[in-house]
Amino acid sequence: MLVRISRLFVGSLFIVSGLIKANDPIGFSYKLNDYFAPGVFDMPWLDSMALELAVIACVAEIVLGIAILFGARMKLAAWSLLGLMVFFTFLTGYTAVANWLFDNNESTLTHSIEGIFGFIIREDYSYMKDCGCFGDAIKLEPWESFLKDLLLMVFTIIIFVKRKTNMIGDLKADGINLSIAMLAIIGFSLGVVGWAFPIWFSLASFSLLLVIKQFMKHESKDWVMAGAATVITTWFCIYCINHLPIKDFRPYKVGNNIAELKECPPDAPQDVYLDTWFYKVNGEVGEYSTEQAPWNIDGAEFVHRETELISKGCEPPIHDFILEDADDMDWTDDILGEEYMLLVISYDLMKTDTDIQSDLSKLYDDAMNDGGPYMYGLAANTYSQIEPFRHEHQVMYDYLTADGTMLKTIIRANPGVVLLNKGTVLAKWHFNDLPSYEEIKAEHLN
């Protein structure tokens, strides 16, 4: 019974968490780039393969979840599951421990410290807020992610210990197991994530795999089932890469107002700091709290002050949306105040798709000839790079500069197009799905 519970829990959770990342493999690849950075694992040679690795990890997680639920090839599945969980637990543990050391060394690791996993936490460690285990859908603190993986590791070990036991069930057993798994998936999807797609994906996948299992008599049917699950999940990843995530969990999703999300509510909690004052009194330096008001002591001489963040207050969901021109003039409020505005987002013009540039210029030309919305390009490049790019590709609209990470967050395309209405996101398009101006006008412009 314990093995069965472990299989149902781990398998269901793997399917949902894998689909969350598969929905946004580009975003997951950005998280892998963070781990490959010089301040973390210092493996920049893997940067060019980050997207492929992200897809492999997403597919492996979903296919393993399905295999565990069906009890197919359990020796291989259990070893693969253990390897994947060791990898995930190391990443979350590394992030949690390194962040803790980072926070307790005045934001600087002054020397290399041996981590609990036997790896060196680098002197130039770059602070990471989360591991990306659930993408942008669920933001867990590093220690929360680590504890979650430790719990999953317990269930994984139970499955691994019993890996030689025959867990392949008949149609009745599969029906019971998959029904319970569907209830768990429904709970995870609707109760935690707020996204129904994993439910329909699981229903379709389970139905197909059950048909293969029941009607295929060849002994290699397990491999056929695994192949079918791999094809389905890989196709889903590729679709989301070549278009946009089917579910946008980021603050720039359609319907959100950027200006409103740049501010915290008036009653939101504020940062709370603790000041420790160092004053020299009668020739000796002592520590004083603010309540002790050492500056009121006769003859006290100020030495220095230390400030510690006690509790973090509200941080607005959008805090880095700043648009500037070549003269460093801030155009943010002007852009967000326009009735309609088209933004061409290119986080890096040196890597952007060049074939679409003529279509973007035509979109701008058609909009201007019709008196439609103005169009700006946004890029994280310098103007010494932007202007030659505009000249080479005969780009007709102007460019503003912005933070690269922020641009990657707005849209998972390079380039992508965003339509704003007084700061509210009306629509977003991948360059593969760029509509004509007539289509935009008919659907979105009054």
Task: Dump pLDDT digits (tens) for 299-324.
Answer: 898 999 988 878 777 778 888 899 99
pLDDT tens-digit profile of 12-55?
A: 999 999 999 999 999 999 988 888 877 677 788 888 899 999 99
Domain spans, the chain: 2-242, 272-311, 332-444
The tokens describing 439, both together, are 């289509």
pLDDT band at 272 (very low <50, low <70, confident <90, very high): confident
Task: Provide the strand spans (E) within 116-268.
Answer: 120-121
The tens digit of pLDDT for each residue in 238-253 reads: 999 999 999 999 999 9
State residue 127's pLDDT score.
Answer: 58
pLDDT higher at 95 or 172: 172
Instruction: Of 402, 252, 386, 262, give the one whose Cα is nearest residue 322.
Output: 402
Q: Is residue 415 reached through a cis peptide bond, with omega within 30 degrees of 0 on the bond before it?
A: yes
Helix, strand or coil, per DSSP, at residue 23: coil
Strand partners, 383: none
| Nearest CA-CA partner of 40 in 121, 146, 140, 110 | 121
pTM here is 0.83
Q: Quote the tokens at residue 71.
A: 């009890």
pLDDT at residue 108 above 50? no
Looking at residue 243, its pLDDT comes to 95
Superfamily of domain 332-444: Glutaredoxin (3.40.30.10)
Averaged confidence pLDDT in the chain: 87
pLDDT band at 116 (very low <50, low <70, confident <90, very high): very low
Q: Are 324 and 400 in contact (CB under 8 A)?
A: yes
Is the per-residue pLDDT at 103 higher than 70? no
pLDDT interval class at 105 (50, 70, 90): low
Tokens matching residue 431: 């360059």
Radius of gyration of the chain (CA): 26
Overall average pLDDT of the 325-330 stretch? 90
pLDDT digits (tens, 9 = 90+) for 357-406: 999 999 999 999 999 999 999 999 999 999 999 999 999 999 999 999 99
Cα distances from 344 to residues 262, 356, 359, 377, 401, in angstroms, run 21, 11, 12, 4, 12
Q: Which residue has the higher pLDDT, 267 or 284?
A: 284
pLDDT tier for residue 122 given thresholds of 50, 70 and 90: low
